[in-house]
Structure 1
């Protein structure tokens, strides 16, 4: 009887250990998004993406945005972890603030110094020096019509789809000073009664403050369900010309097209969902843009020694938080899955 009890206790302890080990599976993610200039625009009427509706984690805004009201009302910008833990509160804070954004976001996004994930965090933006796509980007940049849009690397704890949080992505020029939400020039707006209007405020608060219209914007959702899966919901805004529609007010059912094309900001969507394999480089194709993605196995944060972190150029303030077995060799995620 005692022997059976000991066996049962050992089994339960083993199961608990495996469950705890599966709670956090960290991976390193690198993406490179580029535009193919010169191809005909593939515009769709409606966004085809079926993206996770959770509030996305934003690692880019803290690098560039300035809260011009925060100092006066005591607000502090939310970190990526705070967005994950209390998105509603962060969104409410964002709604009450006036945020000053630059007119252009560079293609290369990264932390100022090398970083490494810590247990309990959600995502960690890495420095450009920790990226591995530089040679491929150099080769691709020589192709005609190639234009870099966004290159960034981060580490994140992978979750099942129902718990995964998307990552917000945006870069390039802000077109909001020239174009309205309907795609037409602000000084050449089509009458509101002529074109159906949609709400694109995205909960950014004060309606008098124009939300940026970035050249590239959207989100990527990566989740783990034994295998790794990637969902993309990206929009490329590209300048072109279009003949605006006009409604014949005497014939409600008949649309008469103007014969004169006017400047227009096209919405080009790339929405894909595919299973990927860790450490392999995957290519997401589209007539007007492309994306390279690699999800790399990494040493788990609780298995990193202080010496290993320092070799990467990462210096921590609290060495006591590191695993006691700091002299052990670094381990990576089990190769038998993903």
Structure 2
């Protein structure tokens, strides 16, 4: 009998530990905006770049340019895998020169895709006069099944350890507040989105890759310097495809960074953003002053002058704040602001109050 009680106690302990190991799910909504304010603060010329493949990305899958892009992406990975393991999906991507493309300007409000119509998907997947094999035919079906599964579950998680879920536009709650702020403060919206996620302890939590605004990579390089266009580039445009295969230009979004939410007895939010802003910087240049009457090696004088050069500043926004669920939290900065709310939600496997 004592052995039976010991086994029962061990089972209860294991079940309790398993329950504690499961993440607690919350609904997150975030609004990032740029201030139209003048400041005397001098920003550093240091550049900040992010390893996007190490971060969770909910934006790119929502912005794939068309149905064929979505289906091609799902051929190598599911939408959940693209969100949680973009590095692995990129390695499995079979056609790197035709990878899903993002627009040059990101819409400031991001929402989950509407379910794809079966007829629309099948038409996009089956070009005329080309024989489609069985493997290719399953691509469109996967996309439709993914959309139908999201619709059937009302965009709610069914497994505590599943990938985060991007909120649809009609699930976002900041709309009226944003309209009032735009009217009163004339701010510039950069990003508005939301998602449902399981929140983990800090050592297990993964950050989200957030970005928005315009891609500035055609104007500036990754050192912040203006892109120089040579005459040779315009003379041989027919060979441009070779460059696209060997060198891939990474986008430089106006807003880019990471956001991590984790539990450490309380909820914490870590933000690590940059606002990329074109401006001017002073650079040193050499000026030669020569005697107009006698030009000799002895009367050539070299002096330093300052010139202005276009430069892409990376304005940092790094904060770590303890927050409470359901409360509206504001992260302040001279050039931008972040409004965030974390809401409690029904946990996976729990019955709704109506049920």
2:216 is the counterpart of 1:175: yes
2:141 is the counterpart of 1:102: no
Do 1:52 and 1:221's aligned partners in 2 also have CA atoms closer than 8 Å? no
- Cα deviation per residue 1:260-314 (whole Å; 9 max; x = unaligned)? x233222111011121111111111111001011111100121145xxxxxxxxx
CA distance in 1, matches of 2:346, 2:283: 55
Do 2:84 and 2:163's aligned partners in 1 also have CA atoms closer than 8 Å? no
CA distance in 2, matches of 1:14, 1:161: 26
Do 2:269 and 2:323's aligned partners in 1 also have CA atoms closer than 8 Å? yes
CA distance in 2, matches of 1:271, 1:210: 26
Do 1:36 and 1:287's aligned partners in 2 also have CA atoms closer than 8 Å? yes
5+ long unaligned stretches in structure 2: 115-153, 231-243, 288-302
Could you say if the C-alpha distance between residues 88 and 107 of structure 1 is closer, same or farther in structure 2, counting changes exceeding 3 Å?
Answer: closer
2:111 is the counterpart of 1:63: no
Could you say which structure has the higher helix fraction? 2
RMSD after superposition: 3.5
Do 2:57 and 2:84's aligned partners in 1 also have CA atoms closer than 8 Å? no
CA distance in 2, matches of 1:157, 1:148: 27
Could you say if the C-alpha distance between residues 107 and 42 of structure 1 is closer, same or farther in structure 2, counting changes exceeding 3 Å?
Answer: farther
CA distance in 1, matches of 2:69, 2:264: 40
Give the aligned partner of residue 208 of structure 1.
247
2:56 is the counterpart of 1:17: no
Shift of 1:177: 1.3
Q: Which moved more, 1:127-136 or 1:27-36?
A: 127-136
Shift of 1:242: 2.2
Q: Which secondary structure state, in structure 2, belongs to the residue aligned with residue 141 of structure 1?
A: helix
1:276-291 matched pairs, under 5 angstroms? 276-291=323-338
Aligned length, in residue pairs: 283
Shift of 1:38: 2.6
Do 2:273 and 2:317's aligned partners in 1 also have CA atoms closer than 8 Å? yes
Give the aligned partner of residue 270 of structure 1.
317
5+ long unaligned stretches in structure 1: 190-204, 249-254, 306-327, 331-338
CA distance in 2, matches of 1:80, 1:224: 26
